[in-house]
Amino acid sequence: MTKAHLIDRLAERVAERTPELSRKQVEQVVNTIFTAIRDSLKKGEKTEIRGFGSFRLRTRQTKEGRNPKTGATVCVPEKRMPFFKAGKEIKELLNQCSNKEGTSHESA
């Protein structure tokens, strides 16, 4: 799903409950949420959305790598990488779907 698809889906659901909100306003809300998560990560903070998951930083240590073209050893510097950990509810939802699908395939 792309960001545009996410905005469209939210706009459809919001229109049912709050018709006075426009798609443009929904887009601003989505952008604000993404900006808040990005700013939190930039500061090294964790963002947790209950029932969904959490965003945090993980640090990859400095390591030796190889240039694939020349084979020369190069130093790959330490990096901060974003990491998403799914919440318990999402994990359970996904596993319920997998179990139901697995059951239907086994009986076929």
Sorted by where each begins, the domain ranges of the chain are 1-45, 46-108
pLDDT at 15 over 80: yes
Region 99-103 average pLDDT: 55
Better-predicted residue by pLDDT, 25 or 101: 25
Please state at what angle helix 3-17 crosses helix 23-42, rounded to 10 degrees. 130
User: Residue 26 burial by CB count (10 A; 0-12/13-18/19+): exposed, middle or buried?
Assistant: buried
At residue 107 the predicted structure's pLDDT band, cuts being 50, 70 and 90, is: very low
CA distances from 16 to 31, 32, 47 (A): 21, 22, 29
Better-predicted residue by pLDDT, 7 or 105: 7
Single-letter code of the amino acid located at 30: V
pLDDT at 108: 40
Region 13-32 average pLDDT: 90
Contact (Cβ atoms closer than 8 angstroms) between residue 88 and residue 94: no
Alpha carbon distance 106, 104 (integer Å): 6
Alpha carbon distance 35, 33 (integer Å): 5
Q: Give the model confidence (pLDDT) of 30-86 as tens digits.
A: 999 999 999 999 999 999 999 899 999 999 999 999 999 999 999 999 999 999 999
Phi, psi dihedral angles at 66 (to 5 degrees):
-125, 140
pLDDT at 106: 45
Phi, psi dihedral angles at 4 (to 5 degrees):
-65, -40
Superfamily of segment(s) 46-108: IHF-like DNA-binding proteins (4.10.520.10)
